[in-house]
C-alpha cells in the first residue's frame, strides 16, 4: 500500500516492536500490564479494562511472525480471564476490549471452540447492559456502595460494539447487531458535536431515556475534546460502518477524523486534549495517536480511492512520527514501546508514560500498513 521508502521504515518499526515485545514476555509473561512506571509495566488484575491489550498485541505479532511463545502466553492470558467472566460482579461495558483481543482473536486464528464460547458469553453479558428506553449500553456498575450510575454511557464503548457485531455473525442471530446499531445511533445523536469533537460521558435518565447531562469525563472540561475519546469515536464509527454498511456511521467517522487530523500539532502526535487553551502545556497522548492511526487506515479502505489518501496519509504521518520521535527503541530499560501516553489527566493517573493500549494500537496500525491482518475488531 505504500511507497518502498515508506515500507522500509514500517518494516524497521515492526522488527523493533517484535524484538522488544519478545524481550518483555520474559518478565511480563501471562499477566496484564497497563502503564509503565520507572521503565517497568505495572501489572493489573485480570478484571481491569486493559486486560486484553497485551494478549491482543501478542496475537497480532504472532499472526505475522509465527513465534509460538507469543501464542502460548496469549492463550494463558485468555484462560486467566475466565475467573473474571465467570465470577466477577462488576463486569462492565469493556467486555469488547477484553474478549475481542483474546477469545475472538484466538478463534479467528486457531478456530478454538472454547474461545468462541467464551466470546459469545461475553457478548451476551454486553448485550444485557442495553437500556431500552435510552438505547445505550450502560458503562459501569456502581464503583461504591449507594452509587447509581445506571444512566451512564461513554464514548469508549463504541469500540466494544464489534463484539456484538461479531456475535451476530457467529450465531446468525441479528439481535446483537440490532443492539450495537441502536447504541451507535445514540452516539450519533448525543455524543458527536457539530464540529466533529465528542463528549466523553452522557448521563441519561435510565427510566425515561432522557439526557440529563453531558460530561467531559477524562477530558479537560465538559466542552473540551479529549483526544483518546475522539479516537475511540473515530475507530468505533468506522467499525460500525464496516459491520453494518450504514452510511451515517461512515459520514460521522469522516467528520470526527477531520476534526482529529486538523487539530494535530506540527509533529502529528495529538495533545491529550485538543481544547485545553494551553493550560496543560505540550502534554501528549501517544495512545490517542496510535489508535487514530489504526482507525484512519481502516477508514481509508472504506472510502473511494479518490479520498482514501486523506486518511491514509494522515495515518502514516502520525505513525511515522510515533516511530521516529516517541519510541523507546534505544532504551533497554524501558518496557513500553511508545513514550508519552496520558491515561487519566483529571484524576492525575499515569501521565506522560507508556500505556499498553498505545503499544497495542501502534503494532496494529503497523500491521495494517503492512497488510498483515487479521484484525480482531472486524
List contacts with ligand GLY (CB under 6 A).
156, 218, 228, 343
With respect to ligand GLY, which residue has the nearer C-beta, 108 or 263?
263
- Cα dihedral 23, 27, 30, 35 sign: negative
Cell match 500500500: residue? 1
Contact indicator for 148, 124 with CB cutoff of 8 Å: no
Among 156, 273, 285, 359, the active-site one is 156
End-to-end CA gap in the chain = 19
Smallest distance from ligand GLY to CB 166, Å = 21
Q: Is 94 a catalytic residue?
A: yes
With respect to ligand GLY, which residue has the nearer C-beta, 59 or 226?
226
Smallest distance from ligand GLY to CB 175, Å = 27
Q: Is 185 a catalytic residue?
A: no
Q: How far apart are CA 159 and CA 198, in angstroms?
A: 14
With respect to ligand GLY, which residue has the nearer C-beta, 231 or 297?
231
Among 47, 92, 94, 359, the active-site one is 94
Contact indicator for 259, 278 with CB cutoff of 8 Å: no
Smallest distance from ligand GLY to CB 139, Å = 9
H-run or E-run covering 351: strand 349-353
Nearest to residue 239, comparing CAs of 136, 127, 158?
158
Contact indicator for 184, 235 with CB cutoff of 8 Å: no
Smallest distance from ligand GLY to CB 343, Å = 6
Q: How many CA atoms lie within 13 A of 284 on its CB side?
A: 25
Helices 286-300 and 305-326: crossing angle in degrees, nearest 10, is 150
Smallest distance from ligand GLY to CB 11, Å = 30
With respect to ligand GLY, which residue has the nearer C-beta, 186 or 343?
343
With respect to ligand GLY, which residue has the nearer C-beta, 78 or 156?
156
Give the residue numbers annotated as catalytic, written as ranges: 94, 156
Amino acid at each position: 500500500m505504500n511507497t518502498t521508502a515508506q515500507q522500509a521504515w514500517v518494516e524497521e518499526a515492526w522488527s523493533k516492536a517484535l524484538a522488544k515485545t519478545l524481550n518483555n514476555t520474559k518478565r511480563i509473561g501471562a499477566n496484564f500490564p497497563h502503564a509503565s512506571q520507572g521503565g517497568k509495566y505495572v501489572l493489573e488484575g485480570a478484571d481491569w479494562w486493559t486486560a486484553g491489550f497485551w494478549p491482543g498485541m501478542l496475537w497480532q505479532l504472532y499472526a505475522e511472525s509465527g513465534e509460538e511463545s507469543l501464542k502460548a502466553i496469549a492463550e494463558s492470558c485468555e484462560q486467566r480471564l475466565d475467573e473474571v467472566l465467570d465470577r466477577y460482579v462488576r463486569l462492565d461495558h469493556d467486555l469488547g476490549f477484553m474478549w475481542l483481543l483474546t477469545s475472538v482473536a484466538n478463534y479467528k486464528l486457531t478456530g478454538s471452540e472454547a474461545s468462541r464460547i467464551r466470546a459469545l458469553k461475553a457478548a451476551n453479558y454486553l448485550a444485557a447492559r442495553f437500556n431500552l428506553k435510552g438505547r445505550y449500553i450502560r458503562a459501569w456498575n456502581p464503583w461504591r456502595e449507594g452509587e447509581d450510575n445506571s444512566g451512564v454511557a461513554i464514548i469508549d464503548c463504541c469500540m466494544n460494539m464489534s463484539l456484538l457485531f461479531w456475535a451476530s455473525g457467529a450465531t446468525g442471530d441479528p439481535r446483537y447487531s440490532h443492539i450495537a446499531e441502536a447504541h451507535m445511533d445514540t452516539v450519533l445523536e448525543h455524543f458527536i458535536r457539530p464540529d466533529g469533537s465528542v463528549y466523553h460521558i452522557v448521563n441519561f435518565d435510565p427510566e425515561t431515556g432522557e439526557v440529563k447531562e453531558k460530561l467531559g469525563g477524562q477530558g479537560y472540561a465538559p466542552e473540551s475534546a479529549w483526544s483518546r475519546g475522539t479516537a475511540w469515536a473515530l475507530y468505533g464509527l468506522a467499525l460500525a460502518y464496516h459491520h453494518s454498511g450504514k452510511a451515517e456511521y461512515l459520514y460521522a467517522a469522516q467528520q470526527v477524523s477531520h476534526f482529529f487530523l486538523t487539530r494535530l500539532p506540527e509533529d502529528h502526535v495529538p495533545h491529550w486534549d485538543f481544547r485545553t487553551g494551553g493550560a496543560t502545556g505540550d502534554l501528549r497522548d501517544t495512545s490517542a495517536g496510535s489508535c487514530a492511526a489504526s482507525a484512519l487506515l481502516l477508514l481509508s479502505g472504506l472510502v473511494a480511492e479518490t479520498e482514501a489518501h486523506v486518511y491514509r496519509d494522515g495515518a502514516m504521518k502520525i505513525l511515522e512520527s510515533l516511530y521516529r520521535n516517541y519510541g523507546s527503541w534505544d532504551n533497554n530499560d524501558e518496557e513500553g514501546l511508545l513514550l508519552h501516553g496520558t491515561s487519566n489527566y483529571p484524576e492525575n493517573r499515569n501521565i506522560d508514560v507508556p500505556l499498553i493500549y498505545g503499544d497495542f494500537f501502534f503494532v496494529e496500525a503497523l500491521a495494517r500498513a503492512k497488510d498483515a491482518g487479521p484484525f480482531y475488531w472486524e
